[in-house]
């Protein structure tokens, strides 16, 4: 049983798969998911591959745990199985992290025989609503850094009443990335990649010179400048789109 390591924006929600991998043949399973309610809150869960019954008990979600029980009739499922999709909300502060602890309540085949099952716990980490991540691609004597900076696409409309996301996607200024999922040196997550492609996160590639090692504080000092620069560039091309962007 596994849930993986998760990142979510502060105050944001993310839906993650709860998996039963390498099943030799399972007809039912029950699991308890525990977490720190000061950091994360489970708000929903939906049925996976066990299609005859799905029970989601969130009566103790506010206390930091929930249970899921589900089964299928007349057969055993094999392979990598989706037990449920669980929706988690980031309720803590930026940088907070919580263990996502799994406890197997029952895993059995259709005849009621137990199927031994290991657990692979995950973690839930809250990242900034504003600046999501910086990737350092290379450095020169620890003074000049080639970086890829990601921050959230500004909300709301621009000067002609169109959303920044709509204009960015239509103009090609957002919606693409130079990074690959899981590839060094960036180690971009799938969630981060999906946000970039959807236009929810802006990517800026920049060379940065600093004295000594690069720090989050040094990067954060540049974020306002970069966002204002991006907005200025975006505004300069609005005349080519007018109000025709959906």
pLDDT in tens, the chain (246 residues): 999 888 887 788 889 999 999 999 999 999 999 999 999 999 999 999 999 999 999 999 999 999 999 999 999 999 999 999 999 999 998 778 999 999 999 999 999 999 999 999 999 988 765 545 666 777 666 567 777 877 778 776 666 677 778 878 887 888 888 888 876 666 677 877 888 899 888 888 877 776 666 665 666 666 667 777 777 777 776 666 554 443
Residue 69 lies in a domain: yes
Phi, psi at residue 238, to the nearest 5°?
A: -60, -30
- In angstroms, rounded to a whole number, what is the distance separating the alpha carbons of residues 6 and 97? 10
Cβ–Cβ under 8 Å, residues 165 and 153 = yes
Residue 183 lies in a domain: yes
Given 127, 156, 188, the domain boundary residue is 127
Structure tokens at 238: 């609005």
Look up the CATH number of the domain holding residue 97. Answer: 2.60.40.680
Question: Left (φ > 0), alpha (ψ -120 to 50) or beta: where does 198 sit?
Answer: alpha
| Residues 139 and 103 both lie in one domain | no
- Please tell me the predicted confidence (pLDDT) of residue 18: 95
Give the range of the structural domain holding residue 54, as residue numbers without chain letter: 6-127
Bridge partners for 125 per DSSP: 7, 97
| Residues 115 and 195 both lie in one domain | no
| Residues 24 and 87 both lie in one domain | yes
Given 127, 157, 186, the domain boundary residue is 127
Cis peptide bond prior to 102, omega within 30° of 0 = no
- In angstroms, rounded to a whole number, what is the distance separating the alpha carbons of residues 35 and 67? 12
- In angstroms, rounded to a whole number, what is the distance separating the alpha carbons of residues 99 and 96? 11
Structure tokens at 229: 């620069």
Domain count, the chain: 2
- In angstroms, rounded to a whole number, what is the distance separating the alpha carbons of residues 246 and 235? 17
């Amino acid at each position: 049983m596994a849930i993986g390591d998760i990142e979510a924006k502060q105050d944001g929600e993310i839906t993650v798969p709860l998996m039963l991998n390498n099943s030799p043949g399972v007809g039912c399973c029950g699991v308890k998911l525990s977490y720190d309610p000061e950091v994360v809150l489970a708000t929903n869960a939906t049925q996976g591959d066990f299609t005859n019954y799905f029970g989601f008990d969130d009566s103790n979600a506010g206390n930091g745990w929930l249970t899921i029980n589900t089964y299928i009739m007349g057969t055993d499922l094999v392979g990598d199985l989706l037990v449920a999709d669980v929706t988690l909300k980031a309720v803590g502060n930026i940088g907070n992290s919580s263990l996502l602890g799994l406890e197997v309540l029952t895993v059995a085949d259709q005849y009621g025989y137990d199927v031994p099952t290991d657990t692979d716990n995950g973690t839930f980490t809250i990242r900034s609503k504003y600046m999501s991540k910086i990737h350092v691609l290379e450095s020169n004597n620890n003074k000049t850094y080639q970086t890829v900076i990601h921050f959230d696409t500004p909300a709301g409309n621009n000067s002609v009443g169109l959303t920044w996301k709509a204009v960015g996607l239509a103009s090609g200024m957002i919606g693409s990335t130079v990074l690959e999922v899981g590839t060094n040196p960036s180690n971009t997550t799938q969630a981060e990649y999906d946000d970039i492609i959807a236009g929810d996160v802006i990517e800026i590639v920049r060379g940065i010179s600093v004295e000594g090692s690069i720090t989050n504080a040094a990067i954060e000092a540049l974020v306002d400048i970069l966002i204002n620069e991006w907005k200025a560039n975006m505004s300069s091309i609005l005349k080519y789109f007018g109000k025709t962007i959906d």
